Each structure stands twice: as structure tokens, then as C-alpha cells.
């Protein structure tokens, strides 16, 4: 199943870096959600992507967006990655790749790098899929949310 703009984001519950359950319902409602799927903690592209979100934190706060990353790494790996890279946002663990498959991000050889912008009502408004342009996920998210806010009543 391919998720497209205008479709409801599938619900899920995953463990965060502290082992606490986090569901999509908890993440949407008050702000747009940037939900990004990435292959693996501490790899070059994934580190660049996470650190670009970190480095643009003020821009993201300024547009009122929240950020959550998802990979198959363990909560402990996520906790270490967050501490090492000084990330300000949660990372969710999807060890059996159920949510990754639900969001069509599994990939053939390596997991896909896909970012979804989900509005306050839980509808997918933008999908950015690029394995190579890790930093582009952040730029696209900021630009899209700014335009979305301008066009929304």
C-alpha cells in the first residue's frame, strides 16, 4: 500500500528511546508532525539527516512543527544516538519493521528514507522520498509547512 497526500496516516504505537509507548494519536493534534523514517542510527546519511533537523530546530519551532524519527534500531541505540548527537526530538524503535511496512518505507536492500508531513487532524499532507538527499528532507519539510500554513484557513 502506497501512502499518498490526502490519506489518513496509519495509527501505530512504538517504543521511544526511553522504552515508553508512543502512538500517532499522541503525536498529532496540536501541531504538524514531521514523521521521518531512516535506515540506521550513526550511519553517515542518517546522522546528517538527524543533525540537520537538530541544526534547524529554531526554524522548526518557529513554524510550530514537531519531529519524530523512526528506525529499526533499539531504544538503547536511539538513546545513545540522541545523547551523542544532542538531538532535541524523540526516536521510535520499530524492530520488526511493522510500522515501516505500514508506511511503505521498507525497501529491498536497505530501508527507505521517507518523510511524511502529517497535519493536526492526522492526514498526510506531504511525502518526501529520497535515499540520497538526507538534508533535503528537512528543507522540504520546513518549506512545505510554511506554504501549508499560509494556504490553510
Residues acting as catalytic residues = 46
**Residues sharing a CB contact under 8 Å with residue 120, sequence separation 6 or more, in sequence order:** 28, 29, 30, 31, 32
On the 0-12 / 13-18 / 19+ scale of CB atoms within 10 A, 55 is exposed
- State CA 116 to chain mean position distance: 7
What angle, 0 to 180 degrees and rounded to 10, lies between the N-to-C axes of helices 136-151 and 44-55?
A: 40
Q: Which residue, 27, 3, 5, is CA-closest to 90?
A: 27
Amino acid at each position: 500500500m502506497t501512502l499518498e497526500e490526502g490519506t489518513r496516516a496509519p495509527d501505530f504505537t512504538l517504543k521511544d528511546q526511553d522504552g515508553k509507548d508512543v502512538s500517532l494519536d499522541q503525536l498529532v493534534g496540536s501541531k504538524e508532525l514531521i514523521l521521518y523514517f531512516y535506515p540506521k542510527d550513526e550511519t553517515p546519511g542518517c546522522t546528517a539527516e538527524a543533525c540537520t533537523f537538530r541544526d534547524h530546530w529554531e526554524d522548526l519551532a518557529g513554524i510550530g512543527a514537531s519531529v519524530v524519527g523512526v528506525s529499526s534500531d533499539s531504544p538503547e541505540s536511539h538513546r545513545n544516538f540522541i545523547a551523542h548527537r544532542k538531538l532535541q526530538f524523540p526516536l521510535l524503535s520499530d524492530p520488526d519493521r511493522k510500522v515501516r511496512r505500514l508506511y511503505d518505507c521498507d525497501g529491498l536492500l536497505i530501508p527507505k528514507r521517507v518523510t511524511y508531513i502529517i497535519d493536526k487532524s492526522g492526514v498526510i499532507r506531504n511525502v518526501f522520498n529520497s535515499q540520497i538527499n538526507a538534508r533535503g528532507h528537512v528543507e522540504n519539510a520546513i518549506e512545505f509547512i510554511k506554504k501549508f500554513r499560509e494556504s490553510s484557513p
